Every structure is written in structure tokens, then in C-alpha cells.
């Protein structure tokens, strides 16, 4: 395809002066700065809001079914007592119908069967997908979990 003299001059100018989308550059720099700011604020806010400090133990229940999650939490709590750990973060997620509502099962078990062991149990303030649990300090031995028949 042959260009005339004017088209060749325009093509040469375009090749020497590339076009830059300034709007796209501004959006990407704004995103980076916002992300950095919010992350540092979230971390600071979490450390201030958590009355027990950083949890000593953590369990992630993603992918577990209701009773399986209850057994895992129960065995971990009973293992934490002799080890001297007091604060546990339970990551249960927001709830998935495929696996059942894990949080509901865990909440019910802690509030009924483990209430004599637990000093505090509630959602983390900045993360509704996880809960904090604090074990009472005067507990020495606890009865083992028995499956309901």
C-alpha cells in the first residue's frame, strides 16, 4: 500500500511521538497510593481494636463441613490449654451453602459445650470472616469433646 507525501509525514510523526494515555496513568498511580494507605490504616486499626494482642494460635476452617469444623476447633482448644495458649483466631469465612454454615456450628458449640472454658468469643472488628476466642486463665484440664449421638 502506497502512502502519499502527507500520510508518510503523519506516520513519521506518530512513530517519533508516541501517544500516552494520561488518564490511565493517573488512575493507576491513585490506585497504588490508596492501597498503601488503606493497608497501613487497617493494620494499625486492627492492632488497636484487638484487646488481646496478636492471637497465639489460628485455625482456618475453609473447606470444612459443620461437624468437621467443630471437631477441629474443639481439639485445638483442648490442645491449647495444657500448652498455656490463651488467644485463638478462628477463620470461618462468611458462609458457603455447599459446606453448610460453619460459623453457626462453631458458635453453637462454643456457646453451649465450651462455655465453661471460654472467657470471650466474638467476631473480629475489622474482619467478619473470623472470630476471636480467649480461654479462661484459671482452667487446668477440660473434658474431651464427645460427638452427639
CA distance 114 to 50: 22
Do residues 62 and 126 share a domain? yes
Do residues 46 and 76 share a domain? no
Task: Say what the pTM is.
Answer: 0.60
In which domain, by residue range, is 41 found? 23-51
**Tally of structural domains, the chain:** 2
Do residues 46 and 60 share a domain? no
CA distance 45 to 63: 29
Quote the pLDDT of residue 72: 94
Do residues 115 and 83 share a domain? yes
Q: What is the mean pLDDT of the chain?
A: 77
Quick check: is 12 in a domain?
no
Quick check: is 83 in a domain?
yes
Is the CA virtual torsion 117, 77, 48, 131 positive or negative?
negative
Q: Tell which wins on pLDDT, 107 or 98.
A: 107
Is the CA virtual torsion 30, 48, 70, 128 positive or negative?
negative
Amino acid at each position: 500500500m502506497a502512502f502519499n507525501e502527507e500520510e508518510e509525514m503523519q506516520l513519521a510523526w506518530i512513530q517519533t511521538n508516541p501517544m500516552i494515555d494520561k488518564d490511565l496513568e493517573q488512575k493507576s498511580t491513585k490506585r497504588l497510593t490508596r492501597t498503601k494507605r488503606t493497608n497501613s490504616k487497617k493494620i494499625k486499626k486492627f492492632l488497636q481494636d484487638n484487646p488481646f494482642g496478636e492471637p497465639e494460635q489460628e485455625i482456618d476452617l475453609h473447606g470444612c463441613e459443620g461437624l468437621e469444623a467443630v471437631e477441629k476447633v474443639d481439639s485445638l482448644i483442648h490442645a491449647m490449654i495444657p500448652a498455656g495458649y490463651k488467644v485463638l483466631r478462628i477463620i470461618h469465612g462468611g458462609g458457603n451453602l455447599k459446606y453448610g454454615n460453619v460459623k453457626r456450628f462453631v458458635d453453637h458449640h462454643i456457646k453451649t459445650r465450651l462455655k465453661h472454658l471460654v472467657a470471650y468469643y466474638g467476631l473480629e472488628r475489622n474482619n467478619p470472616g473470623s472470630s476471636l476466642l480467649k480461654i479462661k486463665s484459671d482452667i487446668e484440664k477440660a473434658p474431651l469433646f464427645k460427638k452427639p449421638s
